[in-house]
Structures are given as C-alpha cells and as structure tokens.
Structure 1
Amino acid sequence: MHLNKSMKVFLLTSVALIAFAGNSIFCRLALGEERIDAASFTSIRLLTGIAVLLAVLALSPYRVKVRNGQVQGADEHQTQPTRGSWRAALMLFIYAIGFSYAYVSLETGTGALILFGAVQITMIAVGLVTGNRLTVIEWLGVLLAFAGFTYLMLPGVEAPSLLGFVFMAAAGVAWGFYTLAGKGSRHPLSDTAFNFVRTLPLVVLLIVLTISNSQMTLYGIVLAMLSGGLASGIGYTIWYMALEGLSAIQAAVLQLLVPIIATIGGFVFSGEEITLRFVIATLMVLGGILMVILGRFQSQKQISS
C-alpha cells in the first residue's frame, strides 16, 4: 500500500516519539525494579546502540567509506567528514550515565519531564550566551518553566528524589550540548553512529570501575539492549527520517509529547501514580517551553517578513 508523504511523516514521527519515551520506560522498568545496576545498564545500552547504529549505517545509502584518510559518502564528490567528535561523545556518555542513575529513584514521567526541560533550558541558555535576545513572551515562558521545576521539587511527600533530579538534570544539560554539537551536521546518522563508537573507551573504563558491584538479571539485560538497540539506535534513525518532512518548529513542539507518553507508559507498565503535583508541574514546564518555541518562531517570522 502506497502512503502519501504526510502520512509517512506522521507514522515515522509517532514511532520515533514512542521510542524516545521507551528509553525512559525501559530504564525505569530495569532500575526501578532492581533488575540491573545503573552502570551495567549504561554499558549494555551504549554497546548495543553502537552495534545497531553501525549495522544501520552499513545498510544505508549514505554509508561512508574511508579512502586515503578522507571520509567519503555514497556520492564520490562528498568529502565532508562524518565521524562525529570526541566532545559530542563525552556529552553522550554523560547523558547516558546520568539518565541511568537518575532512574534508580525517579518515576518514568518525572524523569522524562526533568530531562526534556533541562535539554530545552540548556539550549535556550546557550542561545542567550551567544547573543540571542528573548522577547517578553519568551522570558515569561522561561520563568514559567523554572517555576514549574521549583514547584515539582518543593518539599513534601510527592517531591521526587533530589539526587535523582540532579542526575537527570545533568543528563539533560549534556544532551542539550550534544544536540547543539550536532546542529548543522550534513550526515546526522553517521555522526551519531561514530559518536556512539567514540564512547567505547569510557564504557570500558566504566565496566572496569564497576564490575565488582555489578548486578544483572536476564530481564535487566534485555531491557538495556532494547533501550540501546530499539529505542536509541532504531529510534534515532527513524527520527532522522521523520525530520526530512518536519520544520524545526514542528520538531520542537512535537517533542513536548515525550514526557506525556513516558508518563502514560509508566502508569501502564509500572503502575506508577500520576499525582496532581506532577500534572501541574508538567503543564507549567511544557507550557513555558512551548511559549519560548512559539515566541521564537513568531519573532523569526516577523524578521523574515
């Protein structure tokens, strides 16, 4: 059956967003139920991601070849390097390990909300430092998002773990810098694959330092592999395919759905409670970020016209 372009983009985007939320679900199922330790989950996730991404890259029409020290694409005239960077790989590793240690104590939706919020706020902050000015509506959005995080972390029975918050916020900051490092990449799939490969030395070091305290079950290993291979490797690949049919504003707004999908997944698969505090904080954080995204889009539209 032939799908039109809009339907194809819709399906690809839906699958990719579910995959992103799946990372949170897989990680929480594994670590929240103590089926595997955080370090082992991180190592297996990254190693599986490396294997899957390299396999996808090898089968891709945009696979790279190395000739005389030059990295070439399928087009003989392309000589643009597509091997990522060590800086991006470091950010990827910090994200992965912070993500895992955070989900030892955070619930699925809460973790996804903190991660996504930290990513967006990091990118906004970098924009400010590099000279981007915010409009009044954008500043109001930033303040609303920060207020949402503050409300989420107020002392009380429903407040999430402070240590978990710190780990996930660090993961979000790292992922924000990782995203910025990949901006302008002409071959994001191959850059991502080689960024994963570059984490190998850090993964080996992590294994050496933590192997004496590792605790793994078959179920935990499978969840880590699903996170690395399916939700990360395949999920990122599908997202790149979807991005070809999405504008920057559409991609940014659609990612607001990830914490919501993750929350539903945590409720369905882990029986996690959806509290009133979390709902209010989610509306504040995501609403604030949406204000920034739409405000930026509107100001850019006015400048171009």
Structure 2
Amino acid sequence: MAPSLLLRLRRAGYGCAMRLALLVAVTMAAFAANSLLNRAAVEGGLIDPLGYALIRVGSGAAMLWLLLALRGRGLALRPVPVIGALSLTAYMLGFSLAYLTLGAGLGALILFGVIQVTMFAVAALRGAALGPQRLAGAALAFAGLASLLWPGGGLAVDPAGAALMIVAGIGWAFYTLDGRGAADPLAATAANFAWCLPLVALATLAALPGWPAPGGVALAVIGGALTSGLGYALWYAVLPRIETTTAAVVQLSVPVIAVAAGALLLGEALSWKLVVAGAVVVGGIALAVTAPAAPAGRSRTRG
C-alpha cells in the first residue's frame, strides 16, 4: 500500500507537498459548493432537479470541451468510458433528486459517508493492506454516519432522499475509482461528461420538467462549468498521487464544509445530532489519514 497522505506529503518535499495539499483543499471546497448550489436551486424552487442535472452536465461538458480546444486538442469519444459515464450519471441524477428533501449539509454527510464505505470495501476486495488504524478510522466515520441516519434524536431524515443520495454516493465512489487509472485527467473527465449528457437528457425528457427560472439556470451553469467540470478534472489529476483509502477519507471533510456553509449561507438549522455526527466523522478522517504506511512487502494495490 502507498504511504499515508501525511507521509507522502513529507516525502514529496515542502513545495510539492503544499501544492498537493492546496489542490486537495480546493477540490473538497468545490465538492461542498456543489451541495450548496444544488440545494439552493432545487429547494428554492428555481429549477426542477432533473433540469438542474441536465444543465449542470451540459455546462460541464462545454467547459471541458473549451479547455481541450484551447490546448489544440479534440474531444475523444472512443473508446466509450462505460464505467465513468454510467457512474457519473447515477451520481448526477441521485444527487439532484435527493436535494428535494435533504439539507445541503445532511445530504453531503450521507453522500460522502457512503463513498467512504464503498471505496474501503472495494480496496479491501482488491487486496489492499488497510492496517488497523485506517480501519478504525473508517469504522469511526461510518459510526458517525450511522448515528445520523438512525431514527430518533430530533433529526428527521427523509427515506427517499437518503436512498437517492446513497445511489449518488455509490456512483461517485466508482467514478473516483475509475479516475485513478486516467492517463489524461482532462480528456477523461471531458469524455465522461460527454457520454453522461445524453443519458441525463433522456431521464430529464421522460420526466418533462417545468421551465426553469433564470436564477436556477445560473446556479446550474456555475455548478456544472466550475465546481463540477473543473473540479472533477482537478480531482482526476490528484487521484493518482494519493491512495484509494486516503481518497475516500479526505472526501469526508466535504460534509463539514457543507454543514457550516449551509447554516451560514442557506439558513439551514443545526441540530446537536448533526454536529456530533459530523465531529465523529471528522475524527475518523483524522485517524485514518494519519495512519502509518503499511510494512514493505505487503500489498500495494492502488485501487
């Protein structure tokens, strides 16, 4: 197994370490912004969730195509990125529909908790040497998520919204795993968006959504072109430099950002149950990310 993120940063040298840490932080902020933008547009009645997903994917595909064109390159649609396109579609549709009933912070906590569990499970099935501290961190973070979804405690979680977000989480986990093998992150992300677009369009046309308000379109374009298109290309660029399990746990910082920003910017209520669950999740992240490297000679599966 590759070294932990902190050890990897130390070995990379100060300049490279700071750059990698900054790229990870910017990517996590973009992921949190996606929750806020989607929630503000859909819950605010500015746009239908499927319409939001369609504009988001379309604007993301356009931004990525533009970047490729500026570099003098075309959009390669062959071979078809089956896993990338299907997993991105599952994420986009489940994510948008879930925010009809879930708050930005709550939705992000469910999403990234499911992502972590899925990625750890895949890493274990592929023979990765996880180590006791990393497993303990994952278990602690999962316990925080489970306590959030457990009935009672004054926090009502809509079952349909939670189920849709679980689908989105599984989709994003496989999208992330697929991205670890991307030789050209920008081209791979562009191809995924290009093939995802007709799939989302079919789902949207089947539902016949209403006409969106200009504000909803604007939020969807921002969420597609900036925090999704550019954010996902950046994520694909970062992924080969960190291990699968580290990629899983660092994403659990996103719900904390989303909870705080949702309360500050969208006026979403904070409950003690949500705060405690978030703290437990963060504790699990810290425990897993600071785990020592696996002993030499053990599995080095990249995932």
TM-score by length of 1: 0.81
Q: Which amino acid aligns with 1:46?
A: V
Q: Report the Cα distance in structure 2 between the residues aligned to 1:12 and 1:153, rounded to whole angstroms.
A: 31
The answer to whether 1:175 aligns with 2:172 is yes
> Following the alignment from structure 1 to structure 2, what is the Cα–Cα distance between the partners of residues 252 and 129?
15
Asked if 1:57 is matched to 2:55, the reply is: no
Contact 1:30 1:220 in 2 (8 A): yes
Q: 2:94 aligns to what SS in structure 1?
A: helix
**Contact persistence 1:99–1:167 (CA under 8 A):** yes
Contact map agreement 2:35 2:258 (CA 8 A) in 1: yes
User: Would you say the 8 A contact 2:87–2:174 is kept in 1?
Assistant: yes
> Does the 8 Å CA contact 2:180/2:239 hold for their aligned counterparts?
no
Q: CA separation of 1:11/1:132 partners in 2, compared to 1, >3 Å: closer, same or farther?
A: closer
- The equivalences for 1:209-288 within 5 A come to 209-211=206-208, 213-239=209-235, 243=238, 247-248=242-243, 254-288=250-284
What are the Cα deviations for residues 232-280 of structure 1, in whole angstroms up to 9, with x where unaligned? 1122344456x39965487666534322221222112211122211111
Gaps of 5+ in 2: 1-14
- How far apart, CA to CA, are the structure 2 residues paired with 1:254 and 1:134? 15
Q: Give the structure 2 partner of residue 75 of structure 1.
A: none
Q: Aligned AA for 1:105?
A: T
For 2:242 and 2:137, locate their aligned partners in 1 and report how far apart those are by CA, in whole Å.
Answer: 21
Change (3 A) 1:90 1:48: same
Q: Which has the larger radius of gyration?
A: 1
Residue 49 (structure 2) pairs with residue 38 (structure 1): yes
Counterpart CA distance in 1 for 2:240 and 2:85 is 27
What secondary structure, in the 3-state scheme, does the structure 1 residue paired with 2:101 have? coil
Offset at residue 293 of structure 1 (A): 4.1
Paired residue for 1:164, among 161, 164, 168?
161
TM-score under structure 2 length normalisation: 0.82
Shift of the alpha carbon at 1:125? 0.7
Contact 2:118 2:170 in 1 (8 A): yes
Letter matched to residue 220 of structure 1: G
Deviation per CA, 1:106-129, whole angstroms, max 9, x where unpaired?
A: 111111111111111101111222
**Cα distance between partner residues in 1 of 2:19 and 2:287:** 28
Aligned Cα root-mean-square deviation (Å) = 2.8
**Letter paired with 1:121:** V
**Number of matched pairs:** 283
Whether the aligned pair in 2 keeps the contact of 1:148 and 1:285 (CA below 8 Å) is yes
Select the residue among 90, 111, 114 that pairs with 2:86: 90
Structure 2 counterpart of 1:143: 139
Residue 223 of structure 1 and its aligned partner are, at CA, apart by 0.9
Which residue does the alignment assign to 2:5? Answer: none
**Contact 1:84 / 1:192 at 8 angstroms: preserved in 2?**
no
Instruction: Report if aligned partners of 1:36, 1:216 keep a CA contact under 8 Å in 2.
Output: yes
